C-alpha cells in the first residue's frame, strides 16, 4: 500500500508539473498572438528622434478615426484612447490592419473621466502631442442631459490638461465647435465674433476653451483650438431627418456650413505642424459657404440616385437658424483651404463608401 501510494503521489505530482508546464506554454503563445508588434509598450514609452507620437482621444469615433488614419499615413506614431461609447472598434481594427508595423499604432480602452487611468496612460507612454476629439456632441441631447455634457466635455478636458502638465506634454490640438458662437447677428462668423452659446453643448465647449487658454497662459504649451462647422463624409446615416421647417431662412430650413471630414482632418494636421510654444491659435474650419438643410437633402438624392425618404420633424431644442464661417484666418496663417466644397461630390464619395460597407466597418 505504501508503494502504491508513493506511485500515486508521484504520478499526481508529475501531472501537476505537466499541467503547469502546459499552462505556461499557452500563456506564452497567447501573449504572442494577442500582443502584436504594433502594441509593443517599449516603442510607445520612449521618445524617438524624428518620430512624433500623438495621442488621439476619441480616435475610434468618426472624426477621430479619420484623423488617426491621416496621421498614420503621414508617418506619425499614434495612440488611440476611446471608451467606445460612441466609437467603433471596427474602425480601429481597420487601422491596425492597414498599419501593422511595430511602433505605429496602439489602442487603449479607457474613459477620460477616470483620472487615475488617464494618468497611468500618460505615465506609460511618451506623447509629444494630444489631439483631443473625445466628447459627446449632440445639441438636442445636451439640452436634455446638460450635466452629462459638462462632465464629458469640460471635466474630461480638465483631466487631460492635468495629465499633460504632470507628464510634460506640451502640444494640444483641441476639437471645438461653431456652437460656441451661438446665433450671431452678423454672418459670416469670424474668430473674433462674440461667443454666446445657446445650448449646453456649446457652453461646455466654450468652458473647455476658457480652461485651456487660462492654463496655457501659465505654461509654455503650444495650443491650437479648431472651431469647426457641420461635418460630412463617409459614414452610415440611416435616413434623413429635417428638424425644423419654420426658420427665418429662404426655404425655412437651417443654413449650415458643411465641411468634408477629409478637409477637417487636414486642418488638424496643419494645426499640429504650425503649433508654437507659448502661443494659442484659434481658427474657424469651414468652407465659408452656407447651404440649407433642404439643399443638403436634394444633394443627397442626386448623389445617390435614390429618392431618399425624408422625415420632417419639429425644431431641435437649442438649435439656431443660420451659421457659416469666414475661413480667411486659417487660410492666411496655416495655408489651409477646404478642397472638397462640392456638396454633391462629397456625398457621392460617402455613398460609394456606404455601398461597399453595408454593415459599417465590419465588411468591405
The 10s digit of each residue's pLDDT in 343-363 is: 999 888 888 877 776 566 654
Say if 248 falls within a structural domain.
no
Q: Tell how strand 255-256 and strand 291-292 pair up.
A: antiparallel
Which residue in the list 62, 174, 201, 258 is annotated as catalytic? 201
Say if 165 falls within a structural domain.
yes
> Does 3 have pLDDT greater than 90?
no
Say if 171 falls within a structural domain.
yes
The reported pTM is 0.85
pLDDT-based confidence at residue 151 (cuts at 50, 70, 90): very high
Question: Looking at the chain, which runs of residues are DSSP E strands?
Answer: 53-57, 77-82, 105-109, 129-132, 171-177, 222-228, 230-232, 240-243, 255-256, 258-260, 279-285, 291-292, 310-313
What pLDDT is stored for residue 362 in this prediction? 55
Say if 152 falls within a structural domain.
yes
Say if 242 falls within a structural domain.
no
Rounded to whole angstroms, how far apart are CA atoms 336 and 264?
10
Structural domains in the chain (count): 1
What pLDDT is stored for residue 308 in this prediction? 82
What pLDDT is stored for residue 328 in this prediction? 98
201 is catalytic: yes
What pLDDT is stored for residue 183 in this prediction? 87
Q: What is the mean pLDDT of residues 166-195?
A: 96
Of residues 232 and 104, more confidently modeled? 104
Picking from 333, 296, 291, 286, the residue whose alpha carbon sits closest to that of residue 189 is: 286
Place of cell 438624392: 301
Say if 219 falls within a structural domain.
yes
Say if 302 falls within a structural domain.
no
> Does 258 have pLDDT greater than 60?
yes
> Does 32 have pLDDT greater than 50?
no
Rounded to whole angstroms, how far apart are CA atoms 77 and 53?
4
What pLDDT is stored for residue 16 in this prediction? 47
> Does 291 have pLDDT greater than 50?
yes
Rounded to whole angstroms, how far apart are CA atoms 4 and 20?
24
Say if 349 falls within a structural domain.
no
Lowest-pLDDT range, 10-19, 124-133, 220-229, 337-346? 10-19
pLDDT-based confidence at residue 33 (cuts at 50, 70, 90): very low
CATH code for the domain in which residue 207 is found:
3.40.50.720
CB 56 within 8 A of CB 131: yes
Structural domain of 218? 37-230+259-286+323-341
Percentage of residues of the chain with pLDDT beyond 70: 85
- Helices 115-124 and 156-166 pack at an angle, to 10 degrees, of 30
Rounded to whole angstroms, how far apart are CA atoms 269 and 267?
5
**Please, what is the average pLDDT of the chain?**
88
Amino acid at each position: 500500500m505504501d508503494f502504491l501510494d508513493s506511485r500515486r503521489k508521484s504520478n499526481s505530482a508529475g501531472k501537476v508539473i505537466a499541467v503547469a508546464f502546459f499552462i505556461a506554454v499557452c500563456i506564452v503563445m497567447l501573449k504572442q498572438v494577442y500582443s502584436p508588434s504594433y502594441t509593443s509598450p517599449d516603442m510607445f514609452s520612449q521618445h524617438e528622434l524624428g518620430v512624433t507620437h500623438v495621442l488621439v482621444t476619441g480616435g475610434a469615433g468618426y472624426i477621430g478615426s479619420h484623423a488617426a488614419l491621416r496621421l498614420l499615413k503621414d508617418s506619425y506614431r499614434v495612440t488611440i484612447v476611446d471608451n467606445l461609447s460612441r466609437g467603433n472598434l471596427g474602425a480601429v481594427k481597420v487601422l491596425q490592419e492597414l498599419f501593422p508595423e511595430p511602433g505605429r499604432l496602439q489602442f487603449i480602452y479607457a474613459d477620460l473621466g477616470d483620472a487615475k487611468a488617464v494618468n497611468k496612460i500618460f505615465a506609460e507612454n511618451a506623447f509629444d502631442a494630444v489631439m483631443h476629439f473625445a466628447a459627446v456632441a449632440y445639441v438636442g441631447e445636451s439640452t436634455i442631459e446638460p450635466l452629462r455634457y459638462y462632465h464629458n466635455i469640460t471635466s474630461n478636458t480638465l483631466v487631460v490638461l492635468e495629465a499633460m502638465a504632470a507628464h510634460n506634454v506640451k502640444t494640444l490640438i483641441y476639437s471645438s465647435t461653431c456652437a460656441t458662437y451661438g446665433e450671431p447677428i452678423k454672418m459670416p462668423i469670424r474668430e473674433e465674433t462674440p461667443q454666446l452659446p445657446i445650448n449646453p453643448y456649446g457652453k461646455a465647449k466654450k468652458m473647455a476653451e476658457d480652461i485651456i487658454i487660462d492654463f496655457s497662459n501659465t505654461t509654455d504649451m503650444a495650443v491650437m483650438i479648431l472651431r469647426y462647422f457641420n461635418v460630412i463624409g463617409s459614414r452610415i446615416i440611416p435616413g434623413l431627418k429635417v428638424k425644423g421647417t419654420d426658420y427665418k431662412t429662404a426655404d425655412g430650413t437651417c443654413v449650415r456650413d458643411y465641411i468634408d471630414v477629409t478637409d477637417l482632418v487636414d486642418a488638424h494636421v496643419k494645426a499640429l505642424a504650425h503649433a508654437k510654444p507659448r502661443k494659442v491659435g484659434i481658427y474657424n474650419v469651414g468652407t465659408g459657404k452656407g447651404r440649407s438643410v433642404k439643399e443638403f437633402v436634394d444633394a443627397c438624392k442626386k448623389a445617390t440616385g435614390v429618392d431618399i425618404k425624408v422625415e420632417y420633424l419639429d425644431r431641435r431644442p437649442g438649435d439656431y437658424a443660420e451659421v457659416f464661417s469666414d475661413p480667411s484666418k486659417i487660410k492666411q496663417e496655416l495655408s489651409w483651404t477646404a478642397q472638397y466644397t462640392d456638396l454633391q461630390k462629397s456625398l457621392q464619395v460617402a455613398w460609394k463608401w456606404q455601398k461597399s460597407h453595408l454593415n459599417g466597418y465590419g465588411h468591405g
